[in-house]
């Protein structure tokens, strides 16, 4: 069984981004880029399924600029077998990425597509669900536990009130939540090995996908600043201030 | 015409729906609410009483009892062609699960977690964990939106919209099947929508300490309980307690952060709270930069004293 893992190159989660002075976007020049943390969890899960003998091949795919090759190499170092870059310049919206991933899935015929539940840059939380819809495959989003056996995946999902278990007949789409696993660090020998693993480059036109944007960003702004930093000396002062100044306690 | 997918538990309508209706009302045009459920007459009645709702569409079937994304999306798509310009859902676990499927099937973009409506085609939404807000215009004929509840007031009650039964979309054959649920039981207010929220972080050290120190305080304040990711990952509390970029977004009147450092991912879920209190032994912890009232000290001493200083209810 083959697993396809779509991954995104994003601004590292430790970086606090700044809005450009002209309000055209956020400043990503000279900022550390990494694999989206949820996608790392997706790669880890796919590699574990391979190590358990459930999967036979893990294919990582990324859609975007040439620099996404670095991110794909990271996936290969974690344990993916080969990689596909769908190279496209300019920003790709979730719907365009979903169409590209669906087109790659039709070519590769995986039994599972595992991807992160959201990218920490645009926070859209859409691609997995859209891929499932485009392929007419069942979906399990926000997974915190995945078991695959007998042509079925059993997935524990994080929902607003707790947990829900769903069964999916394969092929299917799964999106990862934070508690699915803890991704391993790529070791130096594996990073070296990753450099020799195959990486194929495709383009949207070759896949027959129109990636033109549907949305236009008119402006990007900083959130209103919050004036914090106030201190109280002790519990008595805290309670007094909450009562008399903030008036949030009776 | 605008369609809002209701959040409900079949017997009653949930407040997330009221917030989404307020956003929908700003789009221009009559607002209809779709209640898709099983034995959900109570929820339909609840939806009909939301002020500003022109009509409730009620789809009722056994396969909508624990609805999957596949079946809910199919139901939305079944009613969508009757002239809706906007398909709207609260940005809850359900809304996030369902609406991208709807958008993809219609070949339109989705605009996620809007926090303001500028006009019928232009919306504001947070990006980068709320460190920036983008104003985006959609050129698609149908706009699919999810709504961040804390950014819009809850619509009032007192309405009396007609309820219309609509044909049920057949169950999707290639879809997920729900086989179990483990829901967190609590007598406390729900985290999203509570007036006071107390959240605990790694500083509490264990689930036992979390319960021993935070529950008595929550009892006195009738507060909801939340947590940082670190506290959830360490197993102090269930996953549905997580507040943050990738957890729940809350904006209560009072948010008390206990033993939480204030990572940007946590702040993303609570920094719109009206009043923020931080209790942390590290005076340099980033949480203090956004707190109105910071108290530097050992939470194991402060919390019992704080609880004792408040009257029992
Ligand atoms: C992709 C991604 C998504 C994430 N999403 C979220 C999210 O949605 N929500 C979220 O919360 N986090 C999220 N995180 C994690 C986030 O980056 C932080 O790791 C997390 O919020 C830290 O939790 P904490 O503040 O409880 O723990 P820590 O950062 O370890 O802080 C513990 C604090 O407790 C204090 N403390 C310790 N002992 C005491 C004592 N006795 N008395 C008083 N104070 C004490 C310490 O001074 C410290 O400040 C995410 C991370 C990633 C990468």
The minimum CA-CA distance between B48 and chain A, rounded to whole Å, is 24
> What is the structure's pLDDT at A84?
98
What is d(CA A140, CA B49) in angstroms, rounded to the nearest whole number? 33
Q: Quick one: three-class SS letters along B76-97?
A: HHHHCCCCCCEEEEECCHHHHH
Instruction: Tell me the pLDDT tens digit for each residue of B6-63.
Output: 999 999 999 999 999 999 999 999 999 999 999 999 999 999 999 999 999 999 999 9
Instruction: Tell me the pLDDT tens digit for each residue of A167-222.
Output: 999 999 999 999 999 999 999 999 999 999 999 999 999 999 999 999 999 999 99
Q: Which residues contact A25 (CB under 8 A, 6 or more apart)?
A: A19, A217, A220
What's the CATH number where A92 sits? 3.40.50.620
Instruction: Please count the structural domains in chain A.
Output: 1
> What is the structure's pLDDT at B208?
98
- Whether the per-residue pLDDT at A90 is higher than 90: the answer is no
In a domain, A217, yes or no: yes
Task: Write the residue in B112, B134, B179 that is nearest to A167 by C-beta.
Answer: B179
CA angle B228–B187–B255, rounded 5-degree value: 35
C-alpha A29 to ligand 1 mean position (Å): 28
- Whether the per-residue pLDDT at B167 is higher than 90: the answer is yes
- Whether the per-residue pLDDT at B312 is higher than 90: the answer is no
In a domain, A249, yes or no: no
CB atoms within 10 A of CB A228: 18
What is d(CA B98, CA B102) in angstroms, rounded to the nearest whole number? 7
Is the reported ipTM for this assembly greater than 0.90?
yes
What's the whole-model pTM score?
Answer: 0.96
| B58 half-sphere exposure, CB direction, 13 A CA radius | 22
Pairing of strands A172-176, A139-149: parallel
Q: Which of A138, A130, A114, A102 has its CA nearest to residue A5? A: A114
pLDDT band at B244 (very low <50, low <70, confident <90, very high): very high
Which own/partner pairs from B207-210 qualify as long-range (CB within 8 Å, at least 24 positions apart)?
Answer: B207/B235, B207/B236, B207/B237, B209/B236, B209/B300, B210/B236, B210/B237
- The domain of A113 spans 2-244
A117 CB within 8 Å of a chain B CB: yes
Which protein residues are within 6 Å of ligand 1, measured from CB?
A 13, 37, 120; B 201-203, 228-231, 242-247, 259-261, 263, 265-266, 269, 280-282, 285, 298-300
pLDDT band at B222 (very low <50, low <70, confident <90, very high): very high
What is d(CA A222, CA B128) in angstroms, rounded to the nearest whole number? 11
Instruction: Tell me the pLDDT tens digit for each residue of B251-285.
Output: 999 999 999 999 999 999 999 999 999 999 999 99
- Mean pLDDT for A6-11 is 98
CA angle A131–A173–B125, rounded 5-degree value: 55
B296 CB within 8 Å of a chain A CB: yes
In a domain, A28, yes or no: yes
- Mean pLDDT for A113-139 is 98
Percent over 70 (pLDDT), chain A: 100
In a domain, A250, yes or no: no
């Amino acid at each position: 069984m083959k697993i396809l893992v779509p991954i995104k190159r994003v601004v590292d989660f430790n970086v606090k981004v700044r809005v450009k002075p002209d309000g055209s976007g956020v400043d990503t020049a000279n900022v550390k880029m990494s694999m989206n943390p949820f996608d790392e969890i997706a790669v880890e899960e796919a590699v574990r399924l391979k190590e358990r003998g459930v999967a036979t091949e893990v294919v990582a795919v990324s859609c975007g600029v040439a620099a996404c090759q670095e991110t794909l190499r990271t996936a290969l170092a974690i344990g993916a077998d080969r990689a596909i870059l769908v190279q496209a310049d300019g920003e790709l919206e979730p719907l365009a990425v979903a169409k590209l991933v669906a087109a790659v899935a039709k070519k590769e015929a995986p039994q599972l597509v595992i991807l992160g539940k959201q990218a920490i840059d645009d926070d859209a939380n859409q691609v997995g669900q859209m891929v499932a819809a485009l392929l007419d495959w069942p979906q399990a989003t926000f997974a915190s536990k995945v078991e695959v056996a007998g042509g079925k995946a059993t997935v524990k999902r994080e929902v607003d009130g707790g947990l829900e278990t769903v069964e999916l007949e394969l092929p299917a789409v799964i999106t990862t939540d934070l508690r699915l696993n803890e991704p391993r660090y790529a070791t130096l020998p594996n990073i070296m090995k990753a450099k020799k693993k195959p990486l194929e480059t495709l383009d949207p036109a070759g896949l027959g996908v129109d990636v033109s944007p549907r949305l236009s960003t008119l402006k990007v702004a900083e959130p209103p600043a919050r004036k914090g930093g106030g201190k109280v000396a002790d519990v008595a002062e805290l309670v007094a201030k909450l009562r008399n100044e903030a008036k949030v306690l009776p | 015409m605008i369609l809002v997918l209701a959040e409900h538990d079949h017997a009653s309508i949930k407040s997330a729906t009221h917030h989404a209706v307020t956003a929908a009302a700003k789009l221009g045009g009559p607002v209809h609410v779709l209640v898709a459920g099983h034995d959900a007459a109570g929820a339909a009645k609840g939806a009909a009483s939301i002020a500003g709702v022109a009509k409730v569409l009620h789809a009722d079937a056994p396969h909508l009892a624990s609805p999957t994304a596949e079946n809910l999306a199919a139901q939305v798509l079944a009613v969508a062609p009757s002239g809706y310009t906007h398909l709207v859902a609260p940005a809850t676990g359900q809304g996030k699960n369902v609406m991208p499927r709807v958008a993809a099937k219609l070949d339109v973009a989705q605009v996620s977690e809007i926090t303001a409506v500028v006009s019928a085609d232009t919306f504001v939404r947070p990006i980068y964990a709320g460190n920036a807000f983008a104003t985006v215009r959609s050129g698609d004929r149908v706009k699919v939106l999810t709504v961040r509840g804390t950014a819009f007031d809850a619509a009032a009650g007192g309405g009396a919209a007609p309820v219309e039964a609509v044909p049920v979309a057949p169950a999707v054959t290639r879809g997920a099947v729900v086989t179990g649920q483990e829901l967190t039981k609590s007598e406390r207010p729900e985290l999203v929508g509570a007036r006071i929220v107390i959240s605990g972080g790694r500083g509490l050290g264990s689930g036992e300490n979390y319960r021993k120190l935070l529950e008595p305080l929550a009892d006195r304040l009738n507060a909801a309980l939340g947590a940082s990711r670190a506290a959830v990952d360490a197993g102090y509390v269930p996953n549905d307690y997580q507040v943050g970029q990738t957890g729940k977004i809350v904006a209560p009147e009072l948010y008390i952060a206990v033993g939480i450092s204030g990572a940007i991912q946590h702040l993303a879920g609570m920094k719109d709270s009206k009043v923020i209190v931080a209790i942390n032994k590290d005076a340099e912890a980033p949480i203090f930069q956004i707190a109105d009232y910071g108290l530097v000290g050992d939470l194991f001493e402060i919390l019992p004293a704080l609880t004792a200083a408040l009257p029992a209810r």
